[in-house]
Every structure is written in C-alpha cells, then in structure tokens.
Structure 1
Amino acid sequence: MGTSRFEIRDQFYLDGKPFQIISGSIHYFRVVPEYWRDRLEKLRSMGCNTVETYIPWNLHEPHPGEFLFDGILDFVKFLKTAQELGLWAIVRPSPYICAEWELGGLPAWLLAEDGMRLRCTYPPFLHAVREYYQALFKVLAPLQIDNGGPILLMQVENEYGAYGDEQAYLEALRSEMQKNGVTVPLVTSDGPWGDYLDNGNLPGTLATVNFGSKPETQLPVLQKKIKAGPLMCMEFWVGWFDAWGDKKHHTASAENSAKDLDFILANGSVNLYMFHGGTNFGFMNGSNYYGRLSPDVTSYDYDAPLSEDGTITEKYLEFRKVISKYANVYPMTFSTEIEQCSYGKQAVADRVSLFSVLPDLALPTESPWPLSMEKLGQNYGYTLYRSYFKKEAQVGKLQLLDTNDRAQIFFDQQHFLTLYDLELQKEYDVPSGFGHSEQIDILTENMGRVNYGPRMEYQHKGVNGAVLLNGHGHAGWRMYPLPMDAEMAEKLDFRKDYQQGTPSFYRIPFQVEKRGDTFLDLSGWGKGCALLNGFNLGRFWDKGPQKRLYVPAPLLRQGENELILFETEGKTADYVRFLAKPELG
C-alpha cells in the first residue's frame, strides 16, 4: 500500500479522497494463527476494505513486566497479512476492551493490589497502563498508515460512557498514546443511549456509536452530537453471545441485519461486530452480572457472517449482496484448505483423582487466613484451599465470606456441598457425619471475571474473605493454584489412585491420520475443561447451550494425540466423540 495519509474532516479521507470504511471485526487472539489468512480472505471477499481488532492487555502482559507478542499474540503478522490482502485496519488498544473477554482485557494481577481502582486516573492504574503502552506501541506504532502500515484509526477507550465520566482519564490515555508514537486519528465509541455519548466523548476525537438494530434511530443521535463529522457505527452487532444456562444459542435474522447494514452504508461507515467471532480458548470468557452471575460459554460464534469454524453462512451471503451496492466484491477463492473431520468415539484410558496428585501439581502457599487467587499470583483456573481440624472439633455451621465464583466443599475428601454465586453468601448447617472430619478442602473456580459495568473492581476470585466455622474465622490454610495449563498437565501421574465422584483427570489418547477441523462432543460429561496436546480448549458444562468444543486442525498432531479432561462433578462417561459439525443448542 505504501505510505499514505488518513484524515477525518467532514468525512473520512484517504490520500485526499473520500473513503467509506466497510470493516469487519476479527480478534486474532480468538483464532489460531494458521487460519488468520483464511478469515481475512473471506472478509475481503465479502466486500470489506478494513479489518478491526482489539488488543487484550491481559494476554500481552500476563504478569507485570512480562510482554508477549508471538504465536497467537503476533498481531504484527496478523495486520501485515491483512495488508497483503488489500485490507486496512482499525485497532482498538484500550486498556479495557470489553469484548465478552475476561475482565474486559484488564490483567487480573491489577486486583492483587489492595484498593486498586480501574479505568480512572488512580495513579497505580495509570502507572501500569504507561508501562504496558511503552512496550505495546514499540510494536504497534510502526504499523500505522503514515509509516507504511495498514492502521487507519485507533480508539482511545471503549464504551467508557457506560462506566464513568472522568474526562481527565480519557485525556491521560490519549496523551500516553501520542507520547508513544500514535499519529493516526483517534476515536471513541459508545452506545447512543442516555448520557453514554456525553460521558465517553473526548474533544478532538471522533465519536462513534455501537448498536445492533434501528440505525434510522441511532445514527441521528450521533449526527446531533458530532454535527459535521462522518457517521460511523463502530460496532454493528450482527448477532450476540451465549452464556452458560441460556435456553438456546442466540441468533439474529440475516434478512433484518442486512436491511440495517444497507441503511448504515447509505449514511456512513461501519464495522461489523463480529464478522468472525472465533473461540474463547482457555479461561478467557468474560461474564455479565445483572442480579446474578452469567459467565459466557467457550464459543464466541456470535451468529456472525463467518461461523466459529470459519464456515460461510447465509448472513455472509446476504451482507455480500448489500455491500456490492457500495463497493467491489471479490471472487470467493481461498488459499487455505480446511476440511471437517469426524474421529468417532475415543475411550478413556486412564483416570486419577485430583486429591491423589495435588502435591505433584502445585506448591502450596501457607497462610493463617485464605488468600484470593490474585494474592497468590494466579490469574485463571481453579484454586484449592485445604485446612485441618483438631480431633475434638465439631463443625456445625459453615460460611464462606467474599468468595467467587463457585466452590465445592469436601470433608475428608467426601463431597458436602457445591455453591455458586449468590449461594456463596449464605451460612449452611453441617450434618454430624461431616462435622467430625479432620480435613476440609474447598475447590474454587474462576468462571470468568465480569467484563462490563461497575462490578469489575470486585472480581477477586477464590476466597478473598474468610471461612467461618461455627461463626468464627478458621485459621491455618494451604492454597494450591491449579491453572490447568500445559506445564501442570505434564505433572499428572495417572498411576495414582482414582476415587469415583471426586474432581478428577481423565486421559484419552487417540490417533489421527489426517488432520481436520473437528468438534469435541462431551455428552455424558458434567463440568470442567479440556486440554488437547497441552492446549486448553476451554470449558464445558452440561447445562449448555454449548454442547461441543471447536478443535481447529492445527491443534491436532498427525499420529498420537492426548486429550486430558478435568471434570469436577463426578459425572463422566467412558469415552468422548469427535464430530465434524457443531451442535449450537
């Protein structure tokens, strides 16, 4: 593309000529790198001229001062691939991205500091942002259009008007971006409702809006706000996300969405959110909290024009017809060969209980009182809290204070109670059969930190308060971090004891002659997570609506593969199945 110039005046201008942005969202971190080119080619063939992506702080700085920009986090390769295909880019590197992503992309280690305040001018938060930006923009700034890269626009914050109204914070972010070499035009994006636009707007940047329907109502609100500037829907929500326990997979009418897209393009520019949703691999799903906890499922299919596994949908074809009225569309020829494969039933070969291998998996931290996951230096997964009783002790009442999100309580390794969300706030009677026990284990699970709204600062996981026994705080705890990653999986010894009905690991070896995309069907299994060749595919839960986990072909090996399931409920089968199609519920 060469060095170019992008400007915002009465409309967008590329090298002095009016330019309509027709963009689609693809999050590189939700797609295996081997498929980036395929997804970008399909975006271009639908008629889009731009790709938009967030940048998740929590992945790029997993621990303070540790910066990662390779593998699935190599956004340089992603954006240069887009550029090779003739696509421009919008990058949204806000500290906060929402995106139905764990803590909205903010790193969990921020919460290890007592009194931390997020998304404001609180000095320790801004200090962490500055350190991150210095590392980030060294890599990102050279990709701007005036440096010969594909980036046209960047965003200062994301939907800040729905969270706060501190103008000084927005000004501080913009200043830090510009100090670190950002030269392209800047935007904000907010919902066009109530005072969101006023709260989230920053003079000197272009305000854009996010919505999923009724553009004939939403765009005039933006027009009134910006007066002479170009109209842009930064997030045109073409579908929606699913939460565990939803009755069915969320879908949106392709016909209605296409009509709304036509109206937007007749009046301005657009970014489709999402063009391709991808997958919340590992424990990266976020949660919402409106009276109760609603963690999102592993799939981020979003009912997007391109499905989770990259399949072209009816919505894609309808959008392509609309876009063809405003821009050139290209032949649908794609360079990446992708096949869907079924590998059938694969049997469980080995089983071992968590309690048997716990000392092998983690070195415990000892403390008189329980410490939250963040205080233990752990970000995601499970934490087990263990303590012992005096022989003469009798427990009659139990209560967990300030504990999230889910806790399974065991006395002498026998299951007593499972508590979730609001249930964790109550006191419970302990029957005499459990009350004379010598040991208590509390297995806590981080189900995904809230990614939107004022509860973000209250997302400490594990036990952040106390364990009350008979009304008083119990002292003397050993705490075992269980992140369920490749390093931990290598420590599993399946020769040790298996106790049915307890949280356990299951090993399923299987052979693959030809690698293809497949879906791991976990019918008959309860709740847990799945690691394939050391890669955490994500969570499963029989309450649905998601029934199968997407397995991209690049995660498979030709020959021997190993699947490890961690299941917490004692609900298991003797096998799993690998099938060629999803079951979206």
Structure 2
Amino acid sequence: MASGIMGSKNSCLALVLLAVLVFQCYWLERVWCVTVTYDHKALVIDGKRRVLQSGSIHYPRTTPEAWSEIIRKSKEGGLDVIETYVFWNYHEPVRGQYYFEGRFDLVRFVKTVQEAGLFVHLRIGPYACAEWNYGGFPLWLHFIPGVQFRTSNDIFKNAMKSFLMKIVDLMKDENLFASQGGPIILAQVENEYGNVQWAYGVGGELYVKWAAETAISLNTTVPWVMCVQEDAPDPVINTCNGFYCDQFTPNSPSKPKMWTENYSGWFLAFGYAVPYRPVEDLAFAVARFFEHGGTFQNYYMYFGGTNFGRTAGGPLVATSYDYDAPINEYGFIRQPKWGHLRDLHSAIKQCEEYLVSSDPVHQQLGNNLEAHVYYKHSNDCAAFLANYDSGSDANVTFNSNTYFLPAWSVSILADCKNVIFNTAKVVTQRHIGDALFSRTTTVDGNLVAASPWSWYKEEVGIWGNNSFTKPGLLEQINTTKDTSDFLWYSTSLYVEAGQDKEHFLNIESLGHAALVFVNKKFVAFGYGNHDDASFSLTQKISLEEGNNTLDVLSMLIGVQNYGPWFDVQGAGIHSVFLVDLHKSKKDLSSGKWAYQVGLEGEYLGLDNVSLANSSLWSQGTSLPVNKSLIWYKATILAPEGNGPLALNLASMGKGQAWINGQNIGRYWSAYLSPSTGCSDNCDYRGSYNSFKCQKKCGQPAQTLYHIPRTWVHSGDNLLVLHEELGGDPSQVSLLTPTGQHICSIVSEDDPPPADSWKPNLEFMSQSPEVRLSCEHGWHIAAINFASFGTLEGKCGTFTPGNCHADMLTTVQKACIGQDGCSIPVSAAKLGDPCPGVLKRFVVEALCSE
C-alpha cells in the first residue's frame, strides 16, 4: 500500500512538472520547446530528421554590436546552426570570479542567434584550442598545486566540472536549451582530445570516460558530442574535424555522421604567407560528405573575426583571425566563397527529404567516378555524381543520361535527372581584389590629428622597486603568470684590465622573441616562428673595462594553445654564455639575475585614456622614429561613415596598438613571410592542406588591423602604439572600406539558380542568371564592363572576343543605383551575336556607398 501511495504521489508530481514545463514553453517567445535526439541518420528535432548546415562564429572575436548583422548574413548564406566555443579564461579570469559582459556576454550572443531563428551548437569544452591564448584555459589553473591538465587528475576534473556546471546552469537559467524553448540543440565536451590522447596513457582513457559521464550528468536534454574522439562513450556522439570527412564513420551504428570543423581556410601566423582555400575545393568537400551519408557539417570558420588584445594563442598567432571565411574579418561577405556555398546549401536543402529517408546506394561510374543515390520511394530519388580524380574531366552515363563532370567535382541531381549544382562551376559573383579601403584620415601621408605625435621612451632593464633577484634563469610564464608579454632578464658583467673586450654573446630561448641590450644599447633581436618558437642568437659585442650591463627583454607572443601537455610548455631565456676571442667560454646561466615583470609603460598605464594629457609624454619638432622600446600617442579623427575601420601599420615594426583604451592587438609588420610558395591562381583540384594555396609571399602576414566602428567616436580619438623594434608612426593611416569591385561570369550552359528548382517542373528550360549584389548600405555605382559572347581574360582584365554583344547599356539600366540586380542569360533575350557558339555573359561593376 505504501509503495502504491508513493507511486501515485510521484505520478502526480510528474504531471504537475509536465504541466509547468508545457505552460512555460507556451509562453516563451519566438521558439517552441522542442526535443532533440538522434538516430543513425541525423539529429532528430521535434521528431523530424534534419540536414543541417552550421558555421562557427566566436562571440569575443567581434563586438556585440556586430553580432546580429554577421548572424543575419550567415542565415542568408544558408546556415541553420551557429557553433561557438566558450572561453573559460575570460569568463573566469580569477578563480571563482566570473565575467559575462561586453564581447564576453555569452547569453546575449545565444539570444541574438535565437532572434535570427537559428540553432546553436555550444562547445563548452572547456578546452577550446581555437588559436586562443592557452587554449582557453585560465592561467590560475596552472598554479594549483598538484594539477595536471586533461587527464585523470582530481584537481583538474573538479575545476573543469565546476565550469561546465556554471555554463550549463547559466543557459538553463535563461531558458536557452531547446527543451526550454531556446536555440541550443547540441553541446560539446572536451575538444580534439583524440589527437593527443596517446601522450596521456591510461589516465587519458579514464579522463575521456569521466568527461562523457560528467557531461551527460548535467541533464542538458540535448545530445553531447566529442570531436576527434574515436572512443567517445555512448551516448556521446563522436564527430569529425578536418579538410575532408566523407570517409569518416562514427563509432556506433546508432550515431549520425557529423562534421564539427570543416576548415574554410586556415589561421594566420606572423612570419607566414596568407593561406586561402579555393571555394571549389571547399564545396567539393561538403558535397562529398553529404553524398556519403553525412547530415550535419560546420564551417570552421564561417566568420573568423579578430584576436583583439592578447587573446591570440601561441606561438605567434596573428591578430587577424580572418580564416579566409565566407564572411571576412570586417564582417563583409567574401565572394565567391559565400555565394557559391549558399548555392550549394540550397541544392542540398532541395535533397533533404531524400538524404534522411534512406542510406545511399552506391554506383561505380568509372575510374574515380561514382554516384550515390538516395531514394524516398522506389522511383523518387536524388543523386550525387562525383569525379574525384584530381586531373581529368569526364563524361558519365547515369540513368541513361550523359553528364559532364569536371575533375574534383560533385554534381547534385535533386530529382536524379536535372543537375542543379556542380561544385566546380562557380556562377555566383566574384570580388576583384579586396575591398577598397580608400577613405583615409591621412593628408600627405600623415594622420589627421587634433594633436601632434607624442612619445615616451621605455626604460631599458630594471625600472621598478617590484623587481627581484634570483640565481639562474627563470621560466617566463611561471614568472609573469601571463600578466604581461614581457620579462626583463638583467645581469652585470665585469671586465678586468687587460681582458678581452670583444666577445660573442650566445643566447638560447624557449621562445618567443627577445631584445638584447649591452650597456643599455640595443645589440640584437632574436625570434622563433609558429612551428618552433625556440631560437638561439649569437652576436659579437664590445664590453667596457669595469662594470657592464646585459639586459634581455624576453617577449611572449601568445601562450601555447595546442599539443600534448601544452600547458607546461615554457617560454623565455634558458641559456646565456660568452665566448672570447680565444674561444674561452663563460656561462652566465647560473649566475645572479635581476627580473622585472612587464614594462614601465604598462605599469604607468600609458594606453589609458586618462593619461592622454599626462606630462609623462614628450613632444617636439623632431619625432623619434625607428627606435626600439618607445610609446607613441596621437589624438586622431575617424573617417566619416558607419563601416569598420582598418589601422594601417605597415610602417611600424613590432608592438601593440590601442584606440581609446581598447587593445586592438599585437602587430609585427617587420616579420616578412618567405618569398616563395605563393600563387594567386591555386589549382583547387586535389587534396588541400594549409600550405597548398598561399598569397602575399615576401610580405608581412598582416598590415591592416581591424578597429570596430563602435570603438571610435566623432571628434578626438586616442591612438597609442607601443613599438618594440622601431617604426615610423608618421606613416600610419586609418582607413575605412568604401567600395568593392565585383564580377559575374555565367555561361549559357550553366544551370539555373539552385533555389529556383521545383519538383515536376522542366528545370533546364529556365535560364541561368547573372546576379549582382552589394553590401548592406552600398549600391551599384558603375558598370565597368558588360559583354555577351566569346570573351577573353579573367575578372578585372576581360576583353571582347571575336564574338561580342555589348551589354553595357542593358546592364546599366537594370542595375545602376540598385543594391542588387539579376539578368537572365539567354540568347533569345540578349540577342545572339554568334549562333551555335557557346557564349558567356560577363559583368564587372563597382559597389560603393
């Protein structure tokens, strides 16, 4: 009887809770509560299998004011889901003290995605990697006695669980999980641990099991994933990361095939050329994934953004995190990448019912040629035809029809008959070069300033009473606790009368860079690179009789963010010795060294707006240029307009920049990439890697630095530069994009737009279209070229061929003054200058404010 009564009470309680949940869901705005599960085919949202396109946007890599516009463009590009990491080190900068404001307002970001009608994949980690400082771990975690990261260590696991609970509870409190009416349909624990698990042995295996169990115990009511984790325990879904994931298979037949990081390009590092990924290859990878049964893929990144301040990881990750993404660092659409992928998403969406209804049926069509067919009913199907040969085009026969397949391409047949998209045929508009950063706050090369440049010369060596002395050379990160990029190592040298004064100074460092001064005079600069931050330098020096000083400024350029046991990878000077002309060696490494964390200018707060008028700053008619360790300040005017700004620091050496107290990030214009290995016309065919396609060889990785428009205001703006090597601030300029040259190339035999396809209609009877569009707020200001015929050249250099119909007037009438326009490519409508010859319609135009 007692048990019966208890059962009755539990049933009543369950009904009450259900009623409360239903009532709560009913009154939640915008989105109904939904259940999210999965089966072997796909994520199942409210009982319906879904094919989902996703893109990574990291909320701190832009400003809250820009979130909605970037998310809107992502949705227009065909995305269903926004994926983001969560950044522990900025959310809990001090143990037990949390921060969720400004760029780190995670709740506001998730709600902004929800307002756009998109889902969220929340990658809590809390390890992120992401080329983010220390991989997203807070430095205080490193200093807890006995801690070992990412292994079966109770201290680490307790801290990790506490943060996971904090984020999950925060999302629950704001009703942001799908079952509460929110947009979060997926969550991730850990990140790419499978790449390094071998280094942790049994402790790693136990840690994976614990991480999965901990995540499930948090009752998020949405599926959890682990990326690059073959042994992810059920029910956690293991997912793929990489340039290609078509051959990936989950570790259980009950789990869907998911791709959490499809690299749209690659990150940028100081001293390296700029990597890019041709959109034909990216589209090929996506189409192959869905062809082989995938139903969820995510672009890493869809919008990359900026590593403001000291958020960039290490070593030597650049401030720009543009990633060659479909939306560029400044929030502008990158063409043809954005448009070609939008067309691909539209084509795949047309096939969604087929993709979730059955497993693909494979047909071999020839050498490196195949088809995968999805059936909804016996005679109702969609097909993917693939040519995965990296060099040879082919004609294939499928369902008694012949299809042309360019090398390294996939054609999508939404009805097993009509080709509505081919990955190698780019019909969307293209950009001719980068956006025009033409409106500038310079006159005769000088910043338009309300005040002339001022400067402050940094003290070399020990500068404050908080310095300390220790025997031997200290590791840098353990000494600075990452409160600064800088650590001074200072010692004294005594030369007896009659001793050699000429020596070779040898310094070895774990990284990342170092300035060397003898008797307060600069003598050498050494540095590593992203792949190997360690370096050694040998410099001939002249000492004086008596006392001499040796000051070495060791520089950190982002704390290590990836690799096995990356958390204990050190930095700083580890060996110093002298060799005289007789080859006699004197080791200074174990001697007495004085240490100073940071620079005096940092301690004084020279980047702070409150010190803009301080007497600490010097002024004069002769601006000191090309000097090491000097701070510069000017009050400048921002260009008119609402667009983002770019600070051109090509004339500077290495340092950091601030606008109105906001840290723009690190710059290093003096570090040039190798002079060879670049191509502006990289062949998309064949497997891609991060070094295959590069540009800007022999140039700095970055010279333009993003300043969000909301960081400046009308009137005076304080610009502060800290120059470490030597540069000329008089040549610095502040720019804003004011236009973009665009180009569209469409052939008569290209398919009509994929979004115009409808079942049971004669699709190919429609015409392909030239479509032009401008950024929001811009319009088509000029048509520079328009022709229909056999044209010669490429975008920016087209000339009429032997067969040519001038379309300039026609396009001008249709497009000038519009933010976008479209013109059918049809000889019947445009006029046929050469019947029986395949022709192209080419338009080059200018978008501007």
TM over 0.5: yes
Paired residue secondary structure (1:325): helix
Cα deviations by residue, 1:349-386 (Å, 9 ceiling, x for unpaired): 11111118985xx7634132454444345325422325
C-alpha change, 1:449 and 1:221, in structure 2 (3 Å) is: same
C-alpha change, 1:205 and 1:501, in structure 2 (3 Å) is: same
CA contact (8 A) 1:26 1:52 kept: yes
C-alpha change, 1:81 and 1:499, in structure 2 (3 Å) is: closer
CA contact (8 A) 1:210 1:235 kept: yes
Cα deviations by residue, 1:206-253 (Å, 9 ceiling, x for unpaired): 11111213xxxx333315x33242111111112112221223x21111
Paired residue secondary structure (1:368): strand
Per-residue deviation, 1:484? 5.4
Equivalent residue, structure 2, for 1:290: none
Structure 1 position 94 matched with structure 2 position 117: no
Structure 1 position 480 matched with structure 2 position 597: yes
Paired residue secondary structure (1:506): strand
The amino acid across from 1:236 in the alignment is N
Structure 1 position 323 matched with structure 2 position 353: no
Per-residue deviation, 1:122? 2.3
Equivalent residue, structure 2, for 1:70: 101
Per-residue deviation, 1:319? 0.9
Equivalent residue, structure 2, for 1:7: 37
Aligned counterparts of 1:358 and 1:521: Cα–Cα separation in 2 = 33
Name which of 627, 630, 634 aligns with 1:504.
630
CA contact (8 A) 2:122 2:186 kept: yes
Structure 1 position 260 matched with structure 2 position 285: yes
Aligned counterparts of 1:145 and 1:506: Cα–Cα separation in 2 = 50
Cα deviations by residue, 1:124-145 (Å, 9 ceiling, x for unpaired): 3223323433433332344211
Structure 1 position 471 matched with structure 2 position 595: no
Residue range with higher mean Cα deviation, 506-515 or 520-529: 506-515
1:488-499 paired onto structure 2 within 5 Å: 489-490=607-608, 493-495=616-618
Per-residue deviation, 1:52? 0.4
In terms of fraction of residues, the more helix-rich structure is: 1
Per-residue deviation, 1:202? 2.8
1:263-282 paired onto structure 2 within 5 Å: 263-266=288-291, 267=293, 268-282=295-309
Greater relative CO, 1 or 2 (CA 8 Å, sep 6+): 1
Cα deviations by residue, 1:416-451 (Å, 9 ceiling, x for unpaired): 222223796647466333685543322121112232
Cα deviations by residue, 1:91-113 (Å, 9 ceiling, x for unpaired): 11112112122222122333445
Aligned counterparts of 2:506 and 2:103: Cα–Cα separation in 1 = 42
The amino acid across from 1:232 in the alignment is M
Equivalent residue, structure 2, for 1:352: 456
Per-residue deviation, 1:342? 2.9
How many aligned positions are there?
550
CA contact (8 A) 1:12 1:19 kept: yes
Aligned counterparts of 2:636 and 2:188: Cα–Cα separation in 1 = 45
Aligned counterparts of 1:189 and 1:574: Cα–Cα separation in 2 = 48
Cα deviations by residue, 1:474-495 (Å, 9 ceiling, x for unpaired): 2141313249599552367213
The amino acid across from 2:714 in the alignment is Q
CA contact (8 A) 1:254 1:315 kept: yes
Name which of 478, 481, 484 aligns with 1:375.
478
Name which of 661, 665, 674 aligns with 1:534.
661
The amino acid across from 1:262 in the alignment is A
The amino acid across from 2:222 in the alignment is V
RMSD between aligned residues = 3.1
Aligned counterparts of 1:385 and 1:253: Cα–Cα separation in 2 = 44
Aligned counterparts of 2:186 and 2:254: Cα–Cα separation in 1 = 19
Per-residue deviation, 1:546? 1.2
The amino acid across from 1:420 in the alignment is Y
Equivalent residue, structure 2, for 1:452: 562
The amino acid across from 1:433 in the alignment is L
Structure 1 position 342 matched with structure 2 position 440: yes
Paired residue secondary structure (2:566): helix
The amino acid across from 1:489 in the alignment is D
Structure 1 position 575 matched with structure 2 position 756: no
Paired residue secondary structure (2:517): strand
Structure 1 position 559 matched with structure 2 position 661: no
CA contact (8 A) 2:476 2:487 kept: no
1:151-550 paired onto structure 2 within 5 Å: 151-165=184-198, 166-190=204-228, 197-198=229-230, 201-213=232-244, 218-222=245-249, 225-247=251-273, 249-266=274-291, 267=293, 268-287=295-314, 295-313=316-334, 314-327=336-349, 341-344=439-442, 345-346=446-447, 349-355=453-459, 359=463, 364-369=466-471, 371-376=474-479, 378-379=481-482, 381-389=484-492, 398=505, 400=507, 403-421=510-528, 426=536, 428=538, 431-433=541-543, 437-454=547-564, 456-463=566-573, 465=574, 470-472=586-588, 473-482=590-599, 487=605, 489-490=607-608, 493-495=616-618, 501-512=627-638, 514=640, 515-542=642-669, 543=672, 544-550=700-706
Equivalent residue, structure 2, for 1:333: none
Paired residue secondary structure (1:66): coil
Paired residue secondary structure (1:507): strand
Paired residue secondary structure (1:389): strand
Gaps of 5+ in 1: 191-196, 288-293, 329-338
Aligned counterparts of 1:251 and 1:427: Cα–Cα separation in 2 = 33
Equivalent residue, structure 2, for 1:335: none
Residue range with higher mean Cα deviation, 434-443 or 560-569: 434-443
Per-residue deviation, 1:151? 0.7
The amino acid across from 2:478 in the alignment is K
Paired residue secondary structure (2:211): helix
Aligned counterparts of 2:533 and 2:539: Cα–Cα separation in 1 = 13
Aligned counterparts of 1:462 and 1:115: Cα–Cα separation in 2 = 23
The TM-score normalised by the length of structure 1 is: 0.85
Residue range with higher mean Cα deviation, 307-316 or 419-428: 419-428
The amino acid across from 2:441 in the alignment is Y
The amino acid across from 2:647 in the alignment is L
Per-residue deviation, 1:49? 1.3
Paired residue secondary structure (1:130): helix
CA contact (8 A) 2:461 2:489 kept: no
The amino acid across from 2:156 in the alignment is F
C-alpha change, 1:89 and 1:436, in structure 2 (3 Å) is: farther
Aligned counterparts of 1:445 and 1:353: Cα–Cα separation in 2 = 18
C-alpha change, 1:457 and 1:423, in structure 2 (3 Å) is: closer
CA contact (8 A) 1:276 1:304 kept: yes
Per-residue deviation, 1:30? 0.6
1:37-186 paired onto structure 2 within 5 Å: 37-112=68-143, 116-142=147-173, 143-165=176-198, 166-186=204-224
Aligned counterparts of 2:643 and 2:552: Cα–Cα separation in 1 = 40
Residue range with higher mean Cα deviation, 32-41 or 111-120: 111-120
CA contact (8 A) 2:305 2:329 kept: yes
Aligned counterparts of 2:78 and 2:332: Cα–Cα separation in 1 = 17
Gaps of 5+ in 2: 1-30, 199-203, 351-436, 579-585, 673-699, 739-849
The amino acid across from 2:527 in the alignment is Y
Residue range with higher mean Cα deviation, 35-44 or 259-268: 259-268
